[in-house]
Homo-oligomer: A and B are copies of this chain.
């Protein structure tokens, strides 16, 4: 990067779809951002090009040795304004992921500028329906045609855009979690804190098991003792305990969610007490049973807040708040999304206006 951003115009634009009917992550806009890294020239070919297939060698490093990381964030429409939620945080975290996987870091400022330029070109693709948004997927992968276990000498940094409907439709339906005690997602010293592609593939079998047992998602325990609550795989987890918010503290194997971080800041701002701590699964079971814990929710980019109504711990089902969203979850969800859509003041400087 550091070089001038080139824009190559498409000959023909796609028809805009009815966003309310499309499936998440299946429709992409007319353009994408791309930049190329080589060990000789660094990041040196930033450009906005028509959305198109990638031409990759069958020996492309990422397909064999997995150097591949991604980010996810959203742009929202408010009248004529397009608002992006904390994009700087995503590029900062992307660099942490890149570093852990021995991949070259990007220039965060240039990346943000590139994203803004891309969004200017694609402004009409940001949907304005209730709860709709434009999902933004930056990703970097190794594309050197070489079979050998060492860092690749060439990479692609791409940003693609996908209009998405509300994650929930009209209301927040509580989901169910299965606490996994056989499979392990990550362990300290590993890559759990990175948005590395391999983490997600590794999680699918436990996800399938949870589904077969009648639960929607997996709640992961730590990899060492298999006793401490970590995350849901695509979300961080929060509990309302004695009226206070509690979430597992970051330990290297938990993804440092930007929604997690922002929720903690918002909750503090709103006067809630927030605690980041190690949460033993037996304590969680006791506190659910005794009623000390009154609400459970996941936090992530896709759904912002996803209330949990049922939680299976070592074979015992715990129903949370009569399987309804609770008042704290609803309060935080409303305030958080109001800031994202520009319906309420943003006292944190989180929202970037295009």
**Interface residues of A, Cβ cutoff 8 Å to B:** 24-26, 28, 32, 51-60, 62-68, 70, 99-102, 135, 137, 139, 141, 145-151, 158, 160, 162, 182-191, 196-205, 207-208, 223-224, 226, 233-234
Cα separation A182 to B185 with both chains bound (whole Å): 18
In the assembled complex, 28 residue pairs joining A and B whose CB atoms fall closer than 8 Å, in A order, are A24-B147, A24-B148, A25-B59, A26-B146, A51-B58, A53-B57, A54-B55, A54-B57, A58-B160, A59-B137, A63-B63, A63-B68, A64-B68, A64-B139, A66-B68, A66-B196, A66-B201, A99-B205, A102-B208, A149-B204, A151-B204, A184-B187, A187-B187, A190-B202, A196-B198, A196-B201, A198-B198, A224-B224
Chain B residues with CB below 8 A from A67, complex form: 201, 204
In the complex the two chains form, is A32's CB within 8 Å of B55's CB? no
In the complex the two chains form, is A150's CB within 8 Å of B205's CB? no
In the complex the two chains form, is B64's CB within 8 Å of A137's CB? yes
Least CB distance, A32 to chain B, in whole angstroms: 6
Least CB distance, A46 to chain B, in whole angstroms: 16
With A25-B148, A184-B187 known as contacts, the answer to whether A53 contacts B55 (CB < 8 A) is yes
Chain B residues with CB below 8 A from A62, complex form: 62-63, 68, 197
Least CB distance, A240 to chain B, in whole angstroms: 26
